A and B are shown apart, each in its own frame.
Chain A
Amino acid sequence: MKQTIRLQDIYSADLYTRSRASELRACINENANEITLDFDGIGFMSRSFADEVCNIIDDLKDKTFSFTGQNDDVATMMTKVREGRSRERKRGIGNAKMYEFKDMESLSKFLLTM
């Protein structure tokens, strides 16, 4: 059984938060095995939202998912997040400096140089 979920019917044009993405789970028909997520009318999808969509897809391995109606931003975000999840995370070597101040006077001297 096929199911198409039109995201604009559930959300506004901007998909911002992870917890709102998790609401998609409840929209998926348990008898459907081919799910199409229709992004038509969606202008922006956050990284968090995209990552949660990936969680749903990974959790529902008995179903196949496809996307339609994505603009460039939405399509690129989904691709980047999916790629990122399958490779080891690399962090840049930071040049962070740590400071500790005993009193307001010494802290002030530092802050006033910023």
Chain B
Amino acid sequence: MAKTVIVKIPNVSEEVRIGYSFNYMIKVMAETETADVVQWDFADVTFLHPFFLAPLAIYKNTSGKNIECINMSLRIQSYLNCICFDRMLHFGQEKREDIEAVMQKYTDKTYLPLCSFSMTDSNKDTFGSIIKSVLMKQANISQSRSSSLSYLISELLDNIYEHSQSANGYVFSQYLEREGVIDLCIADTGITVAGCFEQAKLYQEEIDGKETEALKLANEGYSTKNRPEAENRGYGISTSKEMLVVGMKGAFFMLSGGAFHRYENGANDYIDLKNIFRWHGTVLLMRIPVVLPKDFNYYDYLE
């Protein structure tokens, strides 16, 4: 009989520093990896930070592990039901109006529920466009200030469509009104950034088997899909990060395979996790300020 491991879920409040979310997220998933049958014990939990919650939920839904949630308060249970923690919303080949009808329900909420979406061609633009519209309504972002939000969503979604080879993508967001930010998570369970370079047989000397080096190359704008005559690709991640962090004063985090990247407030770190935990795919976590700095100009970040 398979051994059951009980993993304590820590209380990760919105007040804690972002590093705590990542610390607990990696800890919980690393502990969960050690067994096939796991109970997540929510006895201590009164709040779950979006950057902790989103990867946890995606992991629960995609790892193939038998994970039971125990000792949840009614409040937490109700919140997790609302955000579809156990059973994500899934979008495949639906018509635009059908997706809009489902998502319309969330325009007066502060969160986007956990959504998975298939990587089919017909809905690629639709899903991103609808997400943007819902986030704009939730955070009261006017049309004239929406370009940067559109830019981030379009480039980062397109990146997973183009490179991840994942069957599905995943999205979750939580608008934190007091902090004036949208915490947005976009993830996939694909081949990872390092896997992408490896498959294309590019930059292998520079990468030298290190996933952190691959992540750094991708973040600096090196692509696997340039045209022969021009270095026209690889702008998506690098320009999005600059716009978000330097221009909008937000924060950007990326977990891919066994590598983690942090770009915020002067920090530009690449962390090798290979001995501790691997995410089978890529997770992007963005803290997007709703009120933009007065000197922010969207056009300055277009290349």
List A residues at the B interface (Cβ < 8 Å).
Answer: 11-20, 23, 43-44, 46-49, 51, 54-55, 73, 76-77, 80-81, 84-86, 88-89, 91, 94-104, 107-108, 110-114
Q: Which DSSP category, helix, strand, loop or mixed, fits chain A's interface?
A: mixed
A residues less than 8 Å from B132 (CB atoms): 14
- For residue B282, which residues in chain A have a CB less than 8 angstroms away from its CB? none
User: A47-B155, A48-B154, A89-B221 are known contacts. Are A19 and B268 too (CB-CB below 8 A)?
Assistant: no
The answer to the question of B114 belonging to the interface, with a C-beta cut-off of 8 Å to chain A, is: no
Bound state CA distance, A110 and B220, in angstroms? 24
Cα–Cα, bound, A44→B267 (Å):
31
A-B interface contact total, Cβ < 8 Å:
151
Complex Cα distance, B23 from A111, in Å, reads 6
By size class, the interface of chain B is: 35 or more
Known: A103-B275, A107-B273, A113-B19. A20 touches B220 (CB 8 A): no
- The 10 residue pairs across chains A and B that have the minimum distance between CB atoms: A114-B19, A46-B154, A14-B129, A111-B23, A100-B272, A80-B302, A16-B154, A16-B125, A17-B124, A111-B19
- Kindly identify which residue among B30, B125, B227, B262 contacts A17, using a CB–CB cutoff of 8 Å: B125
CB atoms of A17 and B154 under 8 A apart: yes
Does B18 make an interface contact (CB < 8 A)?
yes
**From A14, which residue of chain B is reached at the shortest CB distance?**
B129
Shortest beta-carbon distance, A107 to chain B, in Å?
A: 6
Contact B232 A85 (CB under 8 A): yes
Complex interface: chain A residues within 8 A of B272 (CB): 98-101
Assess the B271–A110 pair: CB atoms within 8 A.
Answer: yes
B216 on the A face (CB < 8 A): yes
Residue contacts A-B, CB under 8 angstroms, 30 given: A13-B129, A14-B132, A17-B154, A17-B158, A17-B161, A18-B161, A19-B161, A19-B162, A20-B125, A23-B121, A44-B146, A46-B150, A46-B151, A47-B236, A48-B236, A55-B232, A76-B299, A80-B302, A84-B235, A85-B232, A91-B220, A94-B216, A96-B269, A98-B212, A98-B269, A101-B271, A103-B275, A104-B27, A114-B19, A114-B262
Q: Which residue of chain B has the shortest Cβ distance to A84 in the bound complex?
A: B303
Chain A residues contacting B221 (CB-CB under 8 Å) are 89, 91
CB distance from A82 to the nearest CB of B (A): 10
Q: What would 19 more interface pairs be, CB under 8 Å, given A17-B161, A48-B162?
A: A17-B128, A18-B161, A18-B162, A19-B124, A46-B151, A46-B154, A46-B158, A48-B236, A49-B154, A76-B302, A91-B238, A95-B268, A99-B269, A100-B272, A101-B275, A108-B23, A110-B271, A112-B19, A114-B18
